[in-house]
Amino acid sequence: MRVFIILVLIVSCYVSHAQQVQVKSGWNTSVSSSEIIEAGLDYSGTITSDPDQTTINFNGGKMPESYYITVQKNDNGLDGLSLWVRRTGDGNGSPFATVSGGTTFMQVTDSGEILYSGINNKGGGTRRHVPIQYQFRGISVLLPVKTYSINVIYTISE
């Protein structure tokens, strides 16, 4: 018997003000039962994406003086899997637009949690290509064989 799991990540964003936020992503990954040779061999049960699997960009408009980015998920039933996310860098742009927090993995839930925050000290700054990494935990040969699909929603708020 071969167990095959396909995990799909779909990323979208919601803009709550005049800023344009662009999120680029798309992650498809799979786990075959051949990767789990025998029970008890300490299979890690996790899959981690590239460090810059998703990038978040602010384009145009005036950035607020301070803001935060929340993250939440919508899924088709994960059967014990959990999605974790973290920010792996500061991105680039104006030296006056800085970001903080979100550098350790946090579990993505159905309700919005703050991933990271930003400060724009001089106004009119931009922050581009803020890299985001994902991790699935709880992978097991006991999971039902099906396609798991998750929508990840990012929201910017002042």
**pLDDT (tens digit, 9 = 90+) per residue, 3-55?**
444 444 444 444 444 455 556 667 777 666 665 555 555 566 788 888 998 88
Where residue 102 falls among pLDDT bands split at 50, 70, 90? very high
Residue 54 token pair: 């998703």
In angstroms, the CA 133 to CA 124 distance is: 27
More confident residue, 59 or 103: 103
pLDDT of residue 7: 47
Q: Is 72 left (phi over 0), alpha (psi -120 to 50) or beta?
A: beta
The upper half-sphere exposure of residue 113, i.e. CA atoms within 13 Å in the direction of its Cβ, equals 15
Cα 117 off chain centre by: 15
CA distance 97 to 143: 43
pLDDT at 68: 87
Q: Is pLDDT of 147 > 70?
A: yes
Q: How far apart are the C-alpha atoms of 60 and 134, rounded to whole Å?
A: 27
Q: Which residue has the higher pLDDT, 158 or 39?
A: 158
pLDDT score for 63:
63
Q: Could you read off the pLDDT of 53-91 as tens digits, one per residue? A: 888 887 555 666 788 889 988 888 888 889 999 999 999
